[in-house]
Amino acid sequence: MITFDKCKCFKGNIKVPADKSITHRAVIMGSMADGVTVVRNPLISRDTLATMNIMQQLGVNIVNERSRLLIHSEGVKNFKEPYDILNCDNSGTTARLVMGVLAPNKFYSVLAGDASLLRRPMGRVINPLTKLGAVIKAKDNNNLLPATILPGNMKAGEIIAETKSAQVKSAVLLAGVQLDGTVTYVEKTPTRDHTERMLQAFGIKCENDNGKITVYGGDLQQTKLDVPADFSSAAFYIGAGLIFEGSEIVIENCGLNPSRIGLLNVLKDLGVDIKYEITSNEYEPIGNIYVTSGKIKGGKVSGDIIANMIDEIPVLAMTALFGEAPLEIRDAKELRVKESDRIAALINNFRALGAEIEEYEDGLKIYPLTKEPEKAKLLAYDDHRISMVNIILAKKFGVKVLMDNIASLDVSYPDFIGDLLSLEEK
Ligand code: S3P
């Protein structure tokens, strides 16, 4: 069991690691492009290494200099049939995006992953790809990994989104760009648009007309790009800064893509105005975020905004433990099929701290803590984002809070503890 000393508050400037979603896409599209693509400031973590290993199994040569990746490829048309299964490890983004990349190929490949990924739904990607002519056979009625991708005959067409998921959209677009003609993906609820932006950075025409996203078939062109810092990692400092009175944190050079920063909009509605400024805007907006402590009002968060803050809900829920009134979060059923069932994980941990919580199939209602916990055990459920919330709570309450395994931090933020402690004021 792991414990931490209490700290007073957090102060200082921090650069969080590079964006996980964008790094996956840069590795994948750099591999699809013919030539040498340079990715500066990539995230090197368990998830992104899974994507890099898979691209290497497909015949791509990736030189990992840590501060940059040099991706040498002969292009997606020259991908080689892999000798072995492709292990996506813990990464849903890897599994779903790679499935889209491989679906139009004329060879045999098998995607698998770790115990958590083997439980996560894949029918959401297999179904739209199958509608376009892919042949994919997967466990449990074509819904779970391992999945076998067989040669098919994919044709351009239109897909109407059935799940609010950028991963599904990306899979369809990454298959679509390899087909003759255009593929259109229609989404009612906007989800993160990193794939659309990056396809354009690789020279591909990709348009969004009011949620009708059209990709034009073509060859990706080698490029050079920088990966901004990950807003989802920054969110843990936003949460920590809010709940530790006296905190003042500046998060530098962070990705501020409007489809990712729903948390900032929601916090504003809840009475906490986190200031930020955009300092550059190439293919993604980047800037600084200024966090000072504050208490959220209670209320209800639901509807389309959830898709733009899906990975930040554990942080928001944590701030509600220290809020002024109960906070209800709904329309967040997707949280049940992330790296863990995050609704259940948060509820179990918050109840262990003594909080009153109501559970819904699609969310939870959190009542602010009325006293310090006596002694609590917080479980990570092998989930990086739950681990980070637990660490912040352990810093809040000190040694009375015990934690189990937090090894999953390496999925998105291997140095989280060191970075957080570098800001601590005792
Ligand atoms: C991601 C999209 C989100 C998010 C995940 C990364 C991406 O998943 O939760 O951490 O990189 O596209 P869904 O699109 O399935 O909601």
* Tokens found for residue 99: 């499935």
Centre of ligand 1 to C-alpha 88, Å, is: 15
- Measured on CA atoms in the order 92, 94, 95, 100, is the torsion positive or negative? positive
Q: How far apart are CA 102 and CA 208, in angstroms?
A: 24
Q: Which atom of ligand 1 is nearest to the CA of 21?
A: 11
Indicate the pairing of strand 248-255 with strand 285-292: antiparallel
Q: Tell whether the model's pLDDT for residue 186 goes beyond 90.
A: yes
Q: How far apart are CA 365 and CA 361, in angstroms?
A: 11
Q: What is the pLDDT of residue 32?
A: 98
pLDDT per residue over 227-252, tens digit each?
Answer: 999 999 999 999 999 999 999 999 99
* Average pLDDT score over residue span 77-96: 98
Q: Tell whether the model's pLDDT for residue 426 goes beyond 80.
A: no
Q: Is 334 in the pocket of ligand 1 (CB under 6 A)?
A: yes
pTM listed for this prediction: 0.98
pLDDT category of residue 424 using cuts at 50, 70 and 90: very high
Q: Which atom of ligand 1 is nearest to the CA of 20?
A: 11
DSSP secondary structure string for all residues of 34-100: EEEEEEES---SHHHHHHHHHHHHTT-EEEE-SSEEEEEEE-GGGPPPPSS-EE-TT-HHHHHHHHH
With pLDDT > 90 as the criterion, what percentage of the chain qualifies?
Answer: 99
In order of 8, 229, 423, the CA distances from 416 in angstroms are 18, 13, 11
Q: Is 97 in the pocket of ligand 1 (CB under 6 A)?
A: no
Cα 340 to chain centroid distance, Å, stands at 13
Q: Which of 165, 263, 315, 342 to mutate to test the pocket of ligand 1 (most atoms within 8 A of CB)?
A: 165
Residue 424: name the closest of 3, 2, 12, 4 by CA. Answer: 12
Buried b (16+ CB within 10 A) or exposed e, 263-297: bbebbeebebebebeeeeeebbbbbbbebbbbbbe
Q: Which atom of ligand 1 is nearest to the CA of 165?
A: 14
Q: Which of 101, 310, 315 to mutate to test the pocket of ligand 1 (most atoms within 8 A of CB)?
A: 310
With pLDDT > 70 as the criterion, what percentage of the chain qualifies?
Answer: 100
> Catalytic: 219?
no
pLDDT per residue over 105-162, tens digit each?
Answer: 999 999 999 999 999 999 999 999 999 999 999 999 999 999 999 999 999 999 999 9
Burial of residue 63 (CB within 10 Å: 0-12, 13-18, 19+) is exposed
Domains in the chain with CATH codes: 9-17+228-425 (3.65.10.10), 20-218 (3.65.10.10)
Q: Is 93 in the pocket of ligand 1 (CB under 6 A)?
A: yes
Q: What is the pLDDT of residue 19?
A: 98
Q: What is the pLDDT of residue 143?
A: 98
* Average pLDDT score over residue span 185-209: 98
Q: What is the pLDDT of residue 1?
A: 87
Q: What is the pLDDT of residue 213?
A: 98
For atom 16 of ligand 1, which residue has the closest CA? 165
Q: Tell whether the model's pLDDT for residue 62 goes beyond 80.
A: yes
Q: How far apart are CA 287 and CA 390, in angstroms?
A: 27
Q: Which atom of ligand 1 is nearest to the CA of 170?
A: 12
pLDDT per residue over 294-338, tens digit each?
Answer: 999 999 999 999 999 999 999 999 999 999 999 999 999 999 999
Q: How far apart are CA 285 and CA 294, in angstroms?
A: 26
* Average pLDDT score over residue span 73-78: 98
* Average pLDDT score over residue span 165-172: 98
Q: How far apart are CA 421 and CA 426, in angstroms?
A: 10
Residue 98: name the closest of 143, 132, 53, 41 by CA. Answer: 53
Q: Using the structure block, give the residue that is written with the tokens 């040669």.
A: 151
Is residue 376 within 8 Å of 402, Cβ to Cβ?
yes
